[in-house]
Every structure is written in structure tokens, then in C-alpha cells.
Amino acid sequence: MSNGNMNLTLKVWRQSNSTAAGKMENYQLGGVSPDMSFLEMIDMLNEQIIRKGEDAIAFDHDCREGICGMCSMFINGEAHGPNRGVTTCQLHMRSFKDGDTIYIEPWRAEGFPVVKDLMVDRAAFDRIIQSGGFVSVNTSGRTMDANAIPIPKDDADKAFDAATCIGCGACVATCPNSSAMLFVSAKVSQFALLPQGHPERKERVLNMVKQMDEEGFGNCSNIGACEVQCPKNISIENIARMNREYLSASVKPEN
Amino acid sequence: MGLFTSSLIKKYWMAATGLFLISFLVVHAGINAMIFFNDGGETFNEWGHFMGTNLIVRTMEIGLFLGLILHIVDGLMLYFQNRKARPIKYAYEKPSASSSWYSRSMALLGTLILIFLVIHLKDFWLKTRITGLTVMPSHVKIDGVMHENLFAEMLLVFKNPMAVVIYLLGCFSLFWHLFHGFRSAFQSLGLNHRKYASTIELAGSVFSIVISILFASMPVAMYLGWVK
């Protein structure tokens, strides 16, 4: 692999606050190492911007290990960029070429208003979780060990796969309908598959879907872009499971 | 819980009406295929007469129109809500990286099919039910009973190469609409499991291909004089 540094043209969405109108701004950045992560490249660009005395580009990031789900850039028309199964922090500049033009935009959805530049407010996801994405447990000190309940291996595996969702919002960002159904279905599934989730199973799916709709996310039309761009490879089998759960809960709301 | 308020209920309606319309396509294609007996349209006209006069079939026709209208209204609601869900578009989009063009174009394909349907209903349904056939003579005697000569009407319509092209475009739109719609309906109703998902996909692909080619072959066969 070449160790040659790259010169890039970056087109970045700049928006000073949630109410201001934003626009794409052009930046030239030289000396970008192929070994840098995408976020390190943005750090480098921000140093250049700060040295000029301008306002740095605001972007979300936290763990930079691919598990927190904070980094949320729409890069060259794809959520988290061109690679599969990774978040932006795990995308490296070796995926680009010298002289490339890279478009960097925030997630676009009614449910995800822009806070500033590339940062969006994903509190809608928190409100969906609050509406039902939990299991009520006894905290009296006599809490039963979850492992004491036998669970079929297949169910445990599927629940775990669903629970790997990090709530990053890539599914919404990449969906032409801005639908949040992959996220919501993963959260519905991880509980629906386990015995601990059963007591609240029906009201959970009804409440979470209701909240999802109220947040202004679009309707799923089974395009399937979400599962392709999901950094955790969550399958749309979960959406089918949520459809089953919701249908059964609508027909017979009580357990 | 309203019948259309929830995003998931809208999906169920879309899937249920879609599958219902698919069942209609099977009947329609099956009866039309009678023209390939090449018996001067006798078998086809008998079936056409039965479909046009049988009380149960005529009642089901009302259900068919209702199903179609529901499918269209639901589709329009989904389309406009989904547009509203992304008020600011991306400057750079690369949808081809993660999804097929036809799965993203259901509203467009559906509109093309609707335009085709208007032309198609004007060509045949309107004439048999209300205004009367344009072909002369409009009736033919089969086994002593007068039948509308729908077969002759088809031959007349498909003499026109423009009509043939319009019907082929209709079949083309229908193919892609079904290609996504068939498997999509099962997913919407919650039927997606690794055990049988590939079977549904295969069935959907085969169905879309067979039904579209079968329909398309009718105007072509008549235009080229294979069926007369």
C-alpha cells in the first residue's frame, strides 16, 4: 500500500444552529495520511480551520471504536461512507484516493433536526426507547439471575444480534423514506425473543411504533437499504418480526 | 387505533390489497390465455361472457375496484408522508449502492400502471359494460347464445402498433412493480424467515416474469397475426 499522503476536496454541510439556513462549503485539505480514520481527517481539517480563526466543524463522536453509535456522517451519498459494517470512526482514508472530492453531510430526516453542522439531535430515538424499549425488573435485592431461565440457543442468538444495534441512525439516514423501522424493530425484537421481555411484549410494540410515527419518521417500503448500510448488520428479518408482533398486539392487545 | 393512522397498519393494507390484486391478475391472465386456443376466439368469448354476466363475478368486480382504490390511496399516503419525512434532501446521494431502483420506484411504477389501466379500461371494460363494442358485428352466436365478440375487439385494438407499444410498456411497469411488490407483501405481513425467504423470492420472480410475458404475448401475437 502506498504511504503517499493525499490531497482532498471536501464539501461539508455548514449550519451555525438549528434555525439557521445551512449550505455546503468547500475545503482543500493536503497531507492526509491513508492510515488516518475519517474522524482524524476531520480533526485535521478543523485544526486548519481553527488556525484561520474560523468556526470549527461540529460533529458527533465519542468512543471512536465503532461501538457507541455517535459518529453520524453521510459520506459521498452513503451513511458512514462506502464501507460495510463500520461506523465513520472505523472508516479509514485508505478507502479514498488522492484528488478525491468527498461530500460530508448530516443525517437528513424530519425526526433528526440538525443542531449544528454535521450534528443532529437523535433524542427521537431516546423517546422511542422510553416509550417501551425496556424490561421492568424487580430491584428489591432479590432480583433473579437472568441466566437461571433456560432460553433456546437460537432465540438467544437472534436476540443478541438484534441487541447489537447501537442506535446510530444510519438506517434512517440511508432510507429513502427516512424510516426508523430497522432501529425500532431491533429493539422490539431483542425483548420479544426473550422470556424477560414477554410480560410487556404487546404494549411495548404498540407504544414504540406509536412514538416512532409521532416523531415524523417515514414508512417502510421494504427497500432494504437500511440493512445494507447498518454498521452492525441488523437484518430486516427484525422488521418482519416487528410487523408480526404489532399485528398480533393489534388484534389482541392483552397478553 | 385508526385503520390508516399507524405506519404498520398502512403496510398491512398495502400488502393485503397487493396480494388481492395479484390474485386478480392470475384469473385475468388465465382467461385471456384462452385466445391461444386459436379457435377464432370461441373459448375466450365464452369465458368473457361468463365473467361479464355471472352475478358472483360481477359482485367480486366491485371488491376489485375497491381493492384497487385502497391500494392507490394507501400508496399515495405513503408516498407523501415519506417525502415529508425528509424535508431537506442530501446534496449527494448514492442510492444504487444499497438498494434496487425498482424498489425505490414503486410509486412511479404504480403511476405508470395506473395510466395504462385507464387506457386499458377505456379500450375494453368501458366498451363491454357501458358503451358497447366498436367492432362490427359486435356479437357472435356461440351454441345458440349471443356473445359479445370481445375477441374481435382485441384484434381490432391490437392492429394499431401504438396500442401494442402502450400495452408492452404497461407489462414492463407491471413486471418491476410485481418484482418488488410480491416479496415485499410477505415481508410487510411479517412473513420473512431464513427457512422460506428464498422460496418467496423465487416464487415472486417467477410469477412476475410469467405473468408479464403472458400478458405481453397477447397484443404481440395478435399484431403479428399468430392469433386470428
Whole-angstrom distance, CA of residue B148 vs CA of residue B132: 9
Which CA distances in Å does B175 have to A228, B15, B114? 24, 17, 14
Return mean pLDDT, chain B.
94
Q: What percentage of chain B has pLDDT greater than the value 90?
A: 85
Neighbour-count burial for A62-85, b at 16+ CB within 10 Å, e otherwise? eebebebbbbbbbbbbbbbbebee
B50-107, pLDDT tens digit by residue?
998 899 999 999 999 999 999 999 999 999 999 999 999 999 999 999 999 999 999 9
Please report, for the domain that includes residue A166, its CATH number.
Answer: 1.10.1060.10
Q: In 3-state terms, what secondary structure has residue A92?
A: strand
Q: Domain containing A164: what range?
A: 122-251
- In total, how many domains does chain A have? 2
In CATH, the number for domain B7-84+105-223 is 1.20.1300.10
* Sequence-ordered strand ranges (E) for A33-106: 73-75, 78-79, 101-106
Q: In 3-state terms, what secondary structure has residue A152?
A: coil
Closest partner residue to A213 (CB to CB) among B7, B90, B193 is: B7
The verdict on residue A32 lying in a domain is: yes
Which residues of A are less than 8 Å from B9 in CB distance? Answer: 250
Q: Are residues A93 and A160 in the same domain?
A: no
B142-184, pLDDT tens digit by residue?
888 888 899 999 999 999 999 999 999 999 999 999 999 999 9
Determine the distance from the C-alpha atom of residue B170 to the mean position of all C-alpha atoms in its chain, rounded to a whole number: 9
Give yes or no for B89 touching A (CB within 8 A).
Answer: yes
Quick check: A225 and B98 CB within 8 A?
yes
Q: How many CB atoms lie within 10 A of CB A86?
A: 17
Task: Please state the domain extents for chain B.
Answer: 7-84+105-223
Q: Which of B99, B105, B178, B201 to mutate to test the interface with A (most CBs of A within 10 A)?
A: B99
The verdict on residue A215 lying in a domain is: yes
Q: Are residues A79 and A128 in the same domain?
A: no
Whole-angstrom distance, CA of residue A127 vs CA of residue A215: 9
Q: Are residues A106 and A134 in the same domain?
A: no
Q: How many CB atoms lie within 10 A of CB A242?
A: 27
A77-93, pLDDT tens digit by residue?
999 999 999 999 999 99
Lowest mean pLDDT among A1-10, A172-181, B117-126: A1-10
Q: Are residues A131 and A93 in the same domain?
A: no
The verdict on residue A205 lying in a domain is: yes
Closest partner residue to A243 (CB to CB) among B88, B188, B194 is: B188
Q: Are residues A237 and A130 in the same domain?
A: yes
Quick check: B192 and A74 CB within 8 A?
no
The verdict on residue A108 lying in a domain is: yes
**End residue of a domain, out of A116, A146, A167:** A116
Q: Report yes or no: A23 and A14 within 8 Å, Cβ to Cβ.
A: yes
Mean pLDDT of A59-69: 95
> Which residue of chain B has the CA closest to A83?
B97
DSSP letters for B129-140: III---SSS-EE
Which residues of A are less than 8 Å from B81 in CB distance? Answer: 218-219
Which pLDDT value is given to residue A144? 78
Mean pLDDT of A207-226: 97
Amino acid code (one letter) for A147: N
Q: Are residues A86 and A151 in the same domain?
A: no
- Whether the per-residue pLDDT at A175 is higher than 90: the answer is yes
> Which residue of chain B has the CA closest to A173?
B86
Measured over the CA atoms of residue A242, residue A248, residue A254 and residue A255, the dihedral's sign is negative
Which residues of B are less than 8 Å from A158 in CB distance? Answer: none
Q: Are residues A52 and A84 in the same domain?
A: yes
pLDDT confidence bin for B1, thresholds 50/70/90: very low
Closest partner residue to A209 (CB to CB) among B6, B92, B93 is: B6
CA distance to partner chain A, nearest, from residue B140 (Å)? 47
Whole-angstrom distance, CA of residue A129 vs CA of residue A115: 21
CA distance to partner chain B, nearest, from residue A122 (Å)? 14
**End residue of a domain, out of A116, A150, A181:** A116
Which pLDDT value is given to residue A253? 83
Beta strand A6-14 with A101-106 is parallel
Which residues of B are less than 8 Å from A213 in CB distance? Answer: 5-7
The verdict on residue A1 lying in a domain is: no
> Is the peptide bond preceding residue A231 cis, with omega within 30 degrees of 0?
no
Q: Are residues A98 and A209 in the same domain?
A: no
The verdict on residue A30 lying in a domain is: yes
> Which residue of chain B has the CA closest to A101?
B92
**End residue of a domain, out of A116, A146, A180:** A116
Helices B55-84 and B42-53 sit at what angle, rounded to 10 degrees?
Answer: 80
pLDDT confidence bin for B2, thresholds 50/70/90: low
Q: Are residues A79 and A180 in the same domain?
A: no
Give yes or no for B143 touching A (CB within 8 A).
Answer: no
Quick check: B85 and A178 CB within 8 A?
yes
Please report, for the domain that includes residue A31, its CATH number.
Answer: 3.10.20.30
> Which residue of chain B has the CA closest to A106?
B90
> Which residue of chain B has the CA closest to A230?
B98
For residue B33, give every residue at least 6 positions away whose Cβ sits within 8 Å of its Cβ, in sequence order, or none.
B214
Closest partner residue to B85 (CB to CB) among A210, A217, A224 is: A217
Q: Are residues A144 and A196 in the same domain?
A: yes
Give yes or no for B136 touching A (CB within 8 A).
Answer: no
Q: Are residues A91 and A155 in the same domain?
A: no
Angle, vertex CA A101, rays to CA A108 and CA A16, nearest 5: 45
Q: Are residues A164 and A202 in the same domain?
A: yes
Return mean pLDDT, chain A.
95
